[in-house]
Amino acid sequence: MKQLRTLMLVSLAALAAACSSTPPAPPVPKEPDLSGQWVLTIQSRMGTQDSQMTLQQSGRQIAGTITGEAGDVPYSGTVDGTAVNFSFILRVQGMDLRIEQIGTLQGETAMAGRSVFGTFGEGTFTARKQ
């Protein structure tokens, strides 16, 4: 009888400990590493243009250079989860035109979305990591 009582007390203590323990925290998702060389394709009413894009990432901040028909153009932006946004300024006919890319990541090697050409309309963009 004494053994049965001891066994029941040990079982109750183990059950109480199991019920009161905190479950492990879910794993924190890894931020994507987008740094590297990309090919940026912008489609607009004027046609399709491919450019080389060097991307450096520091946390959620991205920056680099886009090299295309207009030469080397610096850009900067952010990554937040799967949302990616970056912009650059082109000098067109004596005025600055801000071009914004608003899109989503498709893994760590592709992105796609809208290109906004200031007040001149919109197009689309895709980018693929090399």
- The token duo for 81 is 């989860």
| Rounded distance between C-alpha atoms, residue 77 and residue 90, angstroms | 16
CA of 43: how far to CAs of 6, 56, 115, 121, 122, in Å? 76, 24, 8, 12, 9
In three-state secondary structure terms, 34 is coil
**pTM given for the model:** 0.75
In a domain, 13, yes or no: no
Question: Residue 73: which of 87, 56, 94 has the closest Cα?
Answer: 87
For residue 53, what are the domain limits?
36-129
What is residue 25's predicted lDDT score, i.e. its pLDDT? 72
**Lowest-confidence segment of 1-5, 32-36, 52-56, 109-113 by average pLDDT:** 1-5
- The token duo for 124 is 């689309």
What is residue 72's predicted lDDT score, i.e. its pLDDT? 97
Q: How many domains does the chain have?
A: 1
- The predicted-structure confidence for 20-65, as pLDDT tens digits, reads as follows 656 677 665 566 789 999 999 999 999 999 999 999 999 999 999 9
- The token duo for 114 is 């809208």
- The predicted-structure confidence for 74-100, as pLDDT tens digits, reads as follows 999 999 999 999 999 999 889 999 999
In a domain, 83, yes or no: yes
CATH number, domain at 112? 2.40.128.120
In a domain, 5, yes or no: no
In a domain, 14, yes or no: no
Burial of 129 (0-12, 13-18, 19+ CB in 10 A): middle
